[in-house]
Amino acid sequence: MRFYAAHFSVYAAGRADVSFSDIASVAWARESILGLAARDVVREYGGGEFKPHGNVTRVEFVKMLVHAFDLPGPDAEPAGAPAFSDVSPGDWFYAEVAAAVNLGIVAGYPDGTFGGNRPITRQEMAVMAARAVKAAGLALPKVENPAVLRDFDQVAGYAKDAVLLLNQAGVLEGDASGMFRPGNFSTRAEAAKVLYKLWLLAE
């Protein structure tokens, strides 16, 4: 076991037992969901449910990224106030959005909004994740035989480098037919799978 302390203090080892009543249908993501939940990166919706098939919003994914990678790092500049008309200091996600903006992980829309409640697409998720990897100072390896994404030509230009980076690292895969479906909204289970793979590489 490796332990990285952010500062000098008194620490103790602990075990976090977590469970969800509705993840049997996503066995492929079970380890990822429970692994992140044990680290308080993802949480239940209430009643012991994770809602693995539910969509992930932009702000939910930003919050997950920031906590998964412990961003900002100890040497990062203090986060300034994000200049979005729909983000206020009293919002539950304010600190994470501010950190993500400061680190270049996210940007807003031309109308001056962040659009935090919008569901995130799979290619948007890839872009944010790739930027978080860079912000965390992580160099991703390249697997010998990355999954073939049959619809890579449908990935938007702004997201191609990010999708390729994560695909070559073995983090992003297509579905059973090899389709990545970049414009589809990401589910909570899919987001957990991507984040957990990246977290393991970071370790």
Residue 7 inside a domain? The answer is no
Rounded Cα distance between 152 and 134, Å, is 22
Can you tell me the distance from the alpha carbon of 146 to that of 96, in angstroms, rounded to the nearest whole number? 32
Residue 72 has what pLDDT?
75
CB-based contact 99:72 (threshold 8 Å)? yes
Tokens 């702004």, located at residue: 158
Answer yes or no: is 12 within a domain: no
Region 100-113 average pLDDT: 90
State the pTM of this model: 0.86
Q: Is residue 3 included in any domain, yes or no? A: no
Q: What is the pLDDT of residue 49?
A: 94
Residue 56 resides in a domain:
yes
Among 38-42, 75-79, 190-194, 197-201, the least confident range = 75-79
Cα–Cα distance, 10 to 32 (Å, whole number)? 29
The per-residue pLDDT for 183 is: 97
Per-residue confidence (pLDDT) for residue 23, from 0 to 100: 95
pLDDT given at position 45: 81
pLDDT at 74: 44
Distance of CA 104 to CAs 36, 74, 136, 184, 197, Å?
23, 16, 11, 24, 21
**Whether pLDDT at 21 is above 60:** yes
User: Number of structural domains, the chain?
Assistant: 1
Residue 124 lies in a domain: yes
> If you average pLDDT over residues 62-78, what whole number do you get?
76
pLDDT of residue 29: 95
Asked whether the predicted pLDDT for residue 185 surpasses 90, the reply is: yes
Residue 180 lies in a domain: yes
Give mean pLDDT, residues 91-96.
Answer: 90
On the question of pLDDT at 108 being above 90, the answer is: no
In a domain, residue 4? The reply is no
User: Is position 1 within any domain?
Assistant: no
The domain of 195 spans: 24-202
Range 64-80 average pLDDT = 71
When pLDDT is averaged across residues 41-58 and rounded to a whole number, the result is 91
